[in-house]
Chain A
Amino acid sequence: MLARYGTPIYIGVTVLGAVGLALVCHHLYGWPPEWLPLGLLAFIGALTWWLPSTSSDGLIHFTADNVVVLAAIPIVGPVGAGVVGLVMAALARRRIALHRRVFNMAMASASAMVGGIAYDLAGGSLSVGELHGVMPLILHVGLPIVVADAANLLANAGLVAGVVRLSAGVPFRLQLLDMLTSSGLTQFAYGVVAFVVIVMWLPGDLGPVAVLVGLAPLAGARWALLQYGEEREARERALGALVAAIETRAPELEGHSARVSAMAAGMAQELGLRPKEVADVRTAGLLHDLGTVVVAPGQEGADHERSAVLRGAAMLQDLPFLAGASAVLEQVAHAGPHQAAPTLAAEVVRVADDFDLLMHGDGLGPAEAMELLRSRPTMVEADRVLAALSRTQRAHDDGPAPDPMVAT
């Protein structure tokens, strides 16, 4: 029931919540004082959504819409900010299903109004044009805007994590943490830039030009961040060539690295490891056989399993961004097949590797492979690890998770 109707019910509740917040804000603050600035802000906000703002790997976001929404709070009031969020999401150029668009509109609007209420509670002024001097502006606009920024982010991340939990099964806490930790500094900067825009727009009498003057200097940062995302994606993909090299030397391992990587990452997630550890486990799983390539032809047979893993780990040490994965591989090597692995991450990689070899190498079924692993004497937190393996295997058998609903 929950899997089938959970998402539509959640979207309905979010829409109702946004309407309720709009009524509360209207009761507290009234209609926006002017409609022309509201239209302009909504238009500029929609434009920021039209610019490419996400790198191809989908991990690096850089969109100035938060600046516009936050600036809208003192300029056109909390209800106006809600309308700006609503219009921006409605006019998003990206083609998405209607129910997703409706969710995005409700979410953007509700987050903006939550930000508006937080701004007021933090002592924010809704008559900024009358303020003069540094301290009054910082106390009654700057600091409240930073508070509004944080509230906006929390509301946004919470709503998105909820829908991703229901539509894709990603744990709520994991998704929330991921969103909050990935955009910390940028989010704070949005708040400060919004403050700058407000100061220029109202006391500075610059009007809507303030948004352009405030946002233009971010062009370089936006460019560099998106480039960074693109290159990071390329770097991760370049690791695929290492796997291809492994499979060229050992064709019998075709597909093994990718399966171990996916299985180990799934288990790490199930076990509640931190996002960084999950990423390290994923890479370690992918490259755990690298050592088999780094050996002279004809010498493979005389090789010891442990030294092969160590050679692979040593090669990765040259790559600072793979230091974590390299450490996990070293732990796997030092443990060897007859000792307990020193960390849960290493155990996960080892179990995923063994499980895949039993399934695809020895042709055992999942139940038999699991039973064999269970009888192994040394294993760190055996029950938890095997339970995670079992759940990940089941999820894999049920097919890939549906696309998460990308909300922002």
Chain B
Amino acid sequence: MNRHRLESLVLGLGALALLWSVVSASDELLEALGQHTAVIVAFLLAITVGELFRVGMPSGRIAAPVATGSGIALAVLGPVWGHDVFDVPAGVVTLVVATGLGLAQVLRAAMRRPTQWYLVAARTVGVAITAALMRVGFIDGEGVWAWQLDSEREAWLIAVVMMGAAAAGLYADIVLTALVQSERWELPAATTLRDELGEAQALTVGVIAAGPLVAFLAPVIGLAALPLGLLPMVLTYIAVRRYAANRATYRQTIAALSRLTEAAGYTPAGHASRVASRSVAIARSMGLHADAIQQLEYAALLHDLGQVGLRSPIPDGATVLAAPDDQRRIASEGARIVRRTEVLDTVADLMERQTTPFRHVREWGEEVPLASRIIKVANAFDDFSHGRADAPSVEAALERIHLGLGYEYDPEVVEALIRTIPAPSALTLR
């Protein structure tokens, strides 16, 4: 139970937002549904369909720009050409959006796609905040929402206020989601928050602006505002998908490069990918930034590439057992090959420094990137355990690493390595 504390908290907040919506809008809910049926159904459809088209960002953030943009649009919506002014309490907006998001989850479950109810909860809370802020009456007693009905009001001011309310809701959504993700991936919350808020700020700005765009179009072209105003979000979805897919193929290219040594029999099968995933796990538990983790992963995948230049393979490809000079030569050969790309210089630097013993850092103050120290430990762990995950192999590998603690290996990294290894009972079960 304690393990899912934050997720339960976010789900609880979502439930609270729904409860508040039902209580505060109970008197007007049925009337609103009857009066604005077409508008509500159109938005419900946009939110549900939009939520089915999600895209996973490289940081792990799940973006659904069409659904999020539609939700924000409904929260700020005022006059609609050909329909009654959408004058409903914030609770009605929240209930409609939550229903759309919930329907999408049910459909996802029916299609055997993964469902994440904490996302529904976080987005519901976000939309409730936007809708409530738009209707707060602290300025002239009527709320800023009513400014849309006043032709004397400056349009730019209305746009700024709408975007402010949209931003407050969207950022609340992002923060809540990041908290749950940090808990799920067992990462420091500050790192996840920094990555979530830092990644794709332009995407966040775009989504924030989509709602006001629909609201400004609606008084002139009615519900056609929904497809027209959401088109930029559809384009965003397509572009982000292409970007994410391309990032994946870039990684595949690096992975293919890393398999050269395995295909030619220099290193055991799967060694590079095991070292890479172990390195990433260690880096995450040490709170490294997403960009740094990305570079680390590439460097770890390619850490043995220099072996392609060897005339005869070293036994089992285990660089940890090679003479220090050979280790350095392999590392610099790999770095030289990778530098030829001109776009992986940082990765090449990390590869080159991976062989430096920790005592150079401790005694001579040599600057060795943390990522290189991580690769050194992860590589030694895989070489010593021969890539096996059974308890005796793991224990033997840890024992060998402990012999070089502080001298060859960074103790903090080794500590993080131990955190990434399942408890002994779990090992035995394997």
Contact = CB atoms under 8 A, between A and B. Distances in A.
B312 interface: yes
Say whether chain B's binding surface is mostly helix, strand, loop, or mixed: helix
A189 B216 contact: no
Contact of A209 (B159, B202, B219): B159
B228 A237 contact: no
Interface in A222-252: 222-225, 227-228, 231-235, 237-245, 248-249
B228 A196 contact: yes
A195 B224 CA distance: 12
Contacts of B240: 220-221, 224
Given A220-B236, A294-B260, A189 B250 contact: no
A336 to B, nearest CB: 22
Interface residues of B, number: 72
Nearest to B218: A204
A151 interface: no
Given A206-B155, A223-B203, A319-B256, A237 B341 contact: yes
Interface residues of A, number: 65
Contact of A199 (B217, B256, B265): B217
Interface string B292-303: 000000000010
B232 A221 contact: yes
B312 A297 contact: yes
Contacts, number: 213
Interface stretch (A3-11, A210-218, A387-395): A210-218
A293 B156 contact: no
B222 interface: yes
Contact of A296 (B69, B253, B264, B340): B264
Interface string A176-205: 000000000110010011011001100111
B243 A238 contact: no
A245 B257 contact: yes
B236 to A, nearest CB: 4
B337 interface: yes
B378 interface: no
B249 interface: yes
B351 to A, nearest CB: 11
Given A217-B209, A217-B233, A224 B257 contact: no
A404 interface: no
Contacts of B252: 318-320
A297 B65 contact: no
Interface string B231-272: 111011011101100110110111111011001111000000
Interface string B140-173: 0000000000010001100100000000000000
A214 B225 CA distance: 12
A302 interface: no
Contacts of B82: 133-134
A217 B69 contact: yes
A241 B65 contact: no
B213 interface: yes
Among all A-B residue pairs, the 5 with the closest Cβ atoms: A220-B206, A223-B202, A216-B209, A220-B203, A217-B232
27 contacts: A133-B82, A133-B221, A189-B235, A192-B228, A196-B228, A212-B159, A213-B213, A217-B69, A218-B232, A221-B206, A221-B238, A221-B239, A221-B240, A222-B239, A223-B206, A228-B239, A234-B250, A237-B341, A238-B343, A238-B344, A245-B308, A248-B309, A248-B333, A293-B264, A297-B266, A320-B249, A321-B249
Given A132-B220, A224-B240, A244-B336, 11 more contacts: A193-B231, A196-B213, A217-B210, A218-B235, A220-B207, A224-B242, A235-B253, A238-B341, A238-B343, A248-B337, A295-B264
